[in-house]
């Protein structure tokens, strides 16, 4: 199999939480390999970027990076080197204090961003700013930071997103 989806979990999350399991099911139904690295050893987003970049991904022809919160930051910063076909970002932790990268140069054929109006961790305007700068598709819902209330909607959107790559 030459196509891989990498799910990057958030700061206080686990590799195989609810979002990862639902999105993995969507990817696997489409015949894609799906992995979710364990980043729990460090809460430093840039250490997590180095961990992702240290993975040997050379056997994969197409890669899609998915990230939630800090994981979206990891996916986006790593995209400059990994050069994925797509970025699927959930409540991305952009423009926050303590994060090394504040100017992004995402590399992907397509970028989709999901965010909640009621996000108490990352202000929705941060997602708007990123999407405006990078011509990314922005989906904002009446939801909190975790976006679990719209997980079925996000899963359907992820399925449509994968249409382009399968």
Query: Could you tell me the pTM of the whole model?
Result: 0.97
Closest CA to 69 of 19, 21, 132, 141: 19
Per residue in 133-145, pLDDT tens?
Answer: 999 999 999 999 9
Strands, sheet with 33-35, edge to edge from the N-terminal-most edge strand: 33-35, 3-8, 62-68, 86-90, 110-116, 137-141
Structure tokens belonging to residue 76: 């986006």
Q: How does pLDDT run across 89-107, given as a tens digit for each residue?
A: 999 999 999 899 999 999 9
Domain count, the chain: 1
Looking at residues 40-55, what average pLDDT do you find? Answer: 97
Structure-token pair, residue 75: 């996916």
CATH of the domain at 134: 3.40.50.1820
Query: Based on the number of CB atoms within 10 Å of its own CB, is 100 exposed (0-12), middle (13-18) or buried (19 or more)?
Result: exposed
Mean pLDDT of 151-160: 98
99-130 pLDDT, tens per residue? 999 999 999 999 999 999 999 999 999 999 99
pLDDT at position 165 is 86
Check pLDDT > 90 for residue 3: yes
User: DSSP string spanning 32-64?
Assistant: -EEE----TT---HHHHHHHHHTS--TT-SEEE
**pLDDT tens, residue by residue, 74-92:** 999 999 999 999 999 999 9
Question: Is residue 1 over pLDDT 70?
Answer: no
Q: Which domain holds residue 147?
A: 3-163
């Amino acid at each position: 199999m030459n196509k891989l989806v990498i799910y990057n979990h958030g700061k206080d999350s686990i590799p195989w939480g609810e979002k990862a399991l639902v999105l993995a099911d969507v990817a696997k139904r489409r015949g894609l390999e799906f992995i979710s690295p364990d980043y729990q050893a460090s809460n430093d987003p840039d250490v997590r970027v180095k961990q992702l970049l240290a993975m040997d991904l050379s056997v994969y022809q197409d890669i899609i990076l998915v990230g939630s919160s800090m994981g979206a930051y990891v996916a986006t910063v790593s995209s400059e080197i990994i050069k994925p076909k797509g970025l699927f970002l959930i409540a991305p932790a952009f423009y926050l204090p303590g994060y090394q990268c504040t100017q992004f140069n995402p590399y992907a054929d397509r970028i989709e961003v999901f965010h909640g109006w009621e996000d108490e961790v990352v202000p929705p305007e941060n997602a708007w700013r990123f999407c405006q700068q990078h011509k990314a598709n922005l989906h904002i819902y009446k939801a909190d930071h975790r976006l679990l209330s719209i997980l079925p909607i996000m899963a359907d959107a992820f399925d449509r997103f994968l249409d382009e790559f399968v």
